[in-house]
Chain A
Amino acid sequence: MEGTYDNMNRRIRVLVAKPALDGHDRGVLMLAKALRDAGMEVLYAGLLPTPEMVAKIAVDEDVDVVALSLHNSAHMTAFPEVKKWLEKLGAKDIQIVGGGIIPPEDREKLEAMGITGNYGPGTPLNVIIDHIKKAAKKKWEMESGSV
């Protein structure tokens, strides 16, 4: 079934968000639609949430993956900030994926922090969808203690 992973009959819950002062929402709106069309349950945090707000919504809504997008060069502060807040709220297992205008060396740094993907503009939606499915799977495995 679409939107689920392998044979686990469970829908992936994703929060898409832009955790900074950044109104360039073309990518995030498109991603939200695409993930929904791929059968996932999608929440959108609206414009201008702080990293703290994003983490709280993620925890309250019990999402599997937080998909972050920024085009304002704030990814190196805002993305790790979301991660920090998730950890603070005891939700280490929620996976964070990123995207936007992200220079190559920043990609490496983000990956090292466990913020994965970090795709640039023009990435095929299927690539992102697959990545999010894998991230969700990882989270479920962490939940069930198999990791």
Chain B
Amino acid sequence: MPDEKRWRRETLDPWIKGKREERINSSDIKLKEIYGPWDVNINYDEDLGFPGEYPFTRGIYPDMYRGRLWTMRMFSGFGTPEDTNKRLKLLLSHGETGLSIAFDMPTLYGYNADSERAHGEVGKCGVNVSSLRDMEIIFRDIPLDKVSTSMTINAPANILTAMYIIVGEKQGVPMEKLSGTVQADILKEYIAQKEWLYPPEAHMRIIRDMMVFSTKNMPKWNYISISGYHIREAGASAVQEMAFTLADGFQYVKLGMENGLDVDSFAPRLSFFFNSSINFFEEIAKFRAARRIWAREMKETYGAKNPRSMMLRFHTQTSGYTLTWQQPLNNIVRTAVEAMAAIIGGTQSLHTNSYDEAWALPSEQAVEVALRTQQILAYETGIADVIDPLGGSYYIEYLTDKMEEEAYKYFRTIDSMGGVVNAIKNGYIQREIAATSYAHQRRIESGEVKVVGVNAFAKENESPINVLKIDYTAEENQIRRIREIKAIRDEEKVRKSLDKLRNAYQSDENSMIAVIEAVRNYATLEEIANVGREVFGGWKEPMII
């Protein structure tokens, strides 16, 4: 066995004159100067295995990127449904088949464009949807049996799913043939992004309704994308992102199983969405550890038999937090490094951020550079040639093990509180994240952590960049459309279908049918959301600070 102590004593210490320097990564894992075979204790078959085989540490597909590159999925959506329809058609004409839609804040919070709360926010961070009519316009002349649509929608995901179903129905496409994903991960909303309508139990019950309904009626619909992205952006470390996200995932698995679904009937449809941040090796270890934990738990704890239930499929987005408004062109480099970590970590799809996003919504030029970054990595660097190229690196294997070990500590703490929902309601998870975020900022302020252009190599005078200028008239347009819809719809039918939904919410029956009915009758997003607000009430989070 090589003797690390001897090396330290005889070679390292004289060289550094005994000045040991402690280094840690974002997950507070202490890093030594070097790792060797003495630091890892791997049973190859059990801990790593081959790609496409349990426990999938090295990748979920046998040929990974040789067979097919990751999907370069750039997320967009803005303004009015007409604007977005044009944009989607343009993407389709360029050969894209996977659409990815962003919604504006009022839509995400279940308010119509004419709500007082929506003023100034309509169409700003995504497209506005106030009723079925808006969805009809977004997908006008887009055959829903030919595309797959990813919708970044959470609290009102049941309503948007219902709208998509009716748009399909009107095109003559039955719901069995609809293919797509809604994010619908409400647990991470309470943890991080904070876009909810009702208390956690109510939203979990609505997710249950979607899971049960979709499992039975929509075989190609991914009704949940379990997201660590926002948890990380809110300030979590890599290990916290992974641990809290997997804990959320297991909670959804339990929810399905408790409601009579066979684990293998729905688990293959669960997918994940992670962040890739700037500490290259730590991120790669995170992705590998996440795959191994998910596979083992799904098999051993939840009794999955189908290997697809054990495969952690994930989308990745590079870190928005690491982008600086100082010297913004430097962000291109940060994004490239983060993208590399995601690819080496085995992601299935990737969104790269644009360099100007600390200033504004991205300009067209910045989006193009972000996409080109992925293409350069894919076609010029050789990154796609060999699967899990860092597997077997002592450091990476050590970190992978260590991240797994640290994640289990969080699982045990969360279990001791009675599960994720309780750990959210008592504020534990939110406080852990806020504490990490604050400690990290303190390390930046002290200069211990360096950020180029911010606390190192800063410039007195920044050279300006051109950013996207928004001139939206979306608000007026959307308000007018709500008036038009209300003038022509059958009010009696609307009232009755909302009553039916109220009854469904008050009882324990599956609410999806009633939501679909209300949508079909052109009840608006806010009217439908309000039924839930009446029945379930709102939610105020515990004090975090």
A124-B121 contact, Cβ under 8 Å, with A47-B541, A73-B470: no
> Which of the candidate stretches B56-64, B175-183, B320-328, B347-355 sits at the interface with the other chain?
B320-328
- Chain A residues 23 to 59 lying within 8 A of chain B, measured CB to CB, are 23-26, 29-30, 32-34, 36, 44, 46-48, 50
Chain B neighbourhood of A46, CB < 8 A: 540-541
Is B464 in contact with chain A by the CB < 8 A criterion? yes
A117 at the interface (CB under 8 A from B): no
Within the complex, the shortest CB–CB distance from A119 to chain B, in Å, comes to 9
* Cα separation A89 to B173 with both chains bound (whole Å): 56
Using Cβ atoms and an 8 Å threshold, which residues of chain A touch B332? Answer: none
Contacts of B326 in A (CB 8 A): 122
**Interfacial chain B residues near A47, Cβ < 8 Å:** 194, 540-541
Nearest CB of chain B from residue A90's CB, rounded to whole Å:
23
Task: Tell me if A104 and B467 are in contact (CB < 8 A).
Answer: yes
Contact A21 B434, beta carbon cutoff 8 Å: no
A29 touches B545 (CB 8 A): yes
B154 CB to closest chain A CB, in angstroms? 10
Contact of B359 with A103 in the complex, beta carbons under 8 Å: yes
**Which B residues are CB-close (under 8 A) to A78?**
120
B315 interfacial by beta-carbon distance below 8 Å:
no
Bound-complex Cα distance A120 to B359 (A): 7
In the bound complex, do residue A29 and residue B434 qualify as a contact, i.e. CB atoms below 8 Å apart?
yes
Q: Is the CB of A26 within 8 A of B324?
A: no
CB-CB under 8 A from B118, the residues of chain A are 21
Give the complex CA separation of A103 and B360 in angstroms: 6
Q: Is A101 close to B, CB under 8 A?
A: yes
Assess whether B454 is interfacial by the CB under 8 Å rule. Answer: yes
Known: A72-B121, A74-B121. A21 touches B324 (CB 8 A): no
In the complex, the answer to whether B324 meets A122 with C-beta atoms within 8 Å is: yes
Residues on B with C-beta less than 8 A from A121 are 321, 323-325, 358
A91-117, CB < 8 A from B: 101-105
Asked if B358 contacts A73 (CB within 8 A), the reply is: no
Contact status B325-A122, CB under 8 Å: yes
A48 — which chain B residues lie within 8 A by C-beta?
Answer: 109
A32 and chain B: residue at smallest CB distance? B545
Interface presence of B124 (CB below 8 A): yes
CB-defined interface of B82-105 with A at 8 Å, one 1/0 digit per residue? 000000000000000000000001
Chain A interface residue number, banded = 35 or more
> A59-84 toward B: CB 8 Å interface, digit per residue (1/0)?
00000000000001110111001000
A23 CB to closest chain B CB, in angstroms?
3
B328-372: CB near A (< 8 Å → 1, else 0) gives 000000000000000000000000000001111100000000000
Is A125 a contact of B445 with CB atoms below 8 Å?
yes
- Flag whether B27 is at the interface (Cβ < 8 A): no
| Cα–Cα distance between A60 and B445 once the two chains are bound (Å) | 34
Q: Which residues of B contact A24 (CB under 8 A)?
A: 193-194, 233-234
Report whether over half of chain B's contact residues are helix, strand or loop; otherwise say mixed.
Answer: loop
Q: Which residues of chain B have C-beta atoms less than 8 A from A30's C-beta?
A: 235, 434, 437-438, 441
Is B254 engaged at the interface, CB distance under 8 Å to the other chain?
no
Which chain B positions have C-beta within 8 A of A72? 105, 121, 124-125
Contacts of B545 in A (CB 8 A): 29, 32-33, 36, 44
Q: A20 near B: Cβ within 8 Å?
A: yes
Docked Cα-Cα span, A81 to B116, in Å, equals 12
Question: Is B416 an interface residue when CB atoms closer than 8 A count as contact?
Answer: no
Interface status of B406 (Cβ within 8 A of chain A): no
Cβ contact of A26, chosen from B105, B121, B437, B469, cutoff 8 A? B437
Q: Which of B155-207 contact A (CB under 8 A)?
A: 189, 193-195
**Given A50-B117, A72-B125, A103-B467, is A124 in contact with B454 using a C-beta cutoff of 8 Å?**
yes
Q: Determine whether the beta carbon of A73 is less than 8 Å from that of B124.
A: yes
A113 to B111 Cα, complex, angstroms: 29
Q: How far is the CA of A50 from the CA of B189 in the complex (A)?
A: 20
Looking at the assembled complex, report how far the CB atom of B129 sits from the nearest CB atom of chain A, in whole angstroms: 14
Task: Verify if B293 is at the interface (C-beta below 8 Å from A).
Answer: no
Asked whether B29 is an interface residue with its Cβ less than 8 Å from the other chain, the reply is no
State whether the Cβ of B108 lies closer than 8 Å to any Cβ in chain A.
Answer: yes
Q: Is B455 an interface residue (CB 8 A)?
A: yes
Distance, CA A73 to CA B124, complexed state (A): 6
Nearest neighbor of B195 in chain A, beta-carbon distance:
A23
Nearest Cβ distance between residue A16 and chain B, in whole angstroms?
9
**Interface flag for B119 (CB, 8 Å):** yes
Which A positions have Cβ atoms within 8 angstroms of B?
Answer: 20-26, 29-30, 32-34, 36, 44, 46-48, 50, 72-74, 76-78, 81, 101-105, 120-122, 124-126
**The 3 A-B residue pairs with the shortest CB-CB distance in the complex, in nearest-first order:** A77-B120, A23-B194, A120-B325
6 residue pairs bridging A and B, Cβ less than 8 Å apart:
A23-B193, A26-B437, A29-B235, A74-B121, A122-B326, A124-B455
**Contacts A48-B109, A73-B124, A81-B120 known; 19 new A-B pairs at CB < 8 A:** A20-B105, A21-B108, A21-B117, A23-B193, A24-B234, A26-B235, A30-B437, A34-B441, A47-B540, A74-B124, A77-B119, A77-B120, A77-B121, A78-B120, A103-B359, A103-B467, A120-B359, A121-B321, A124-B454
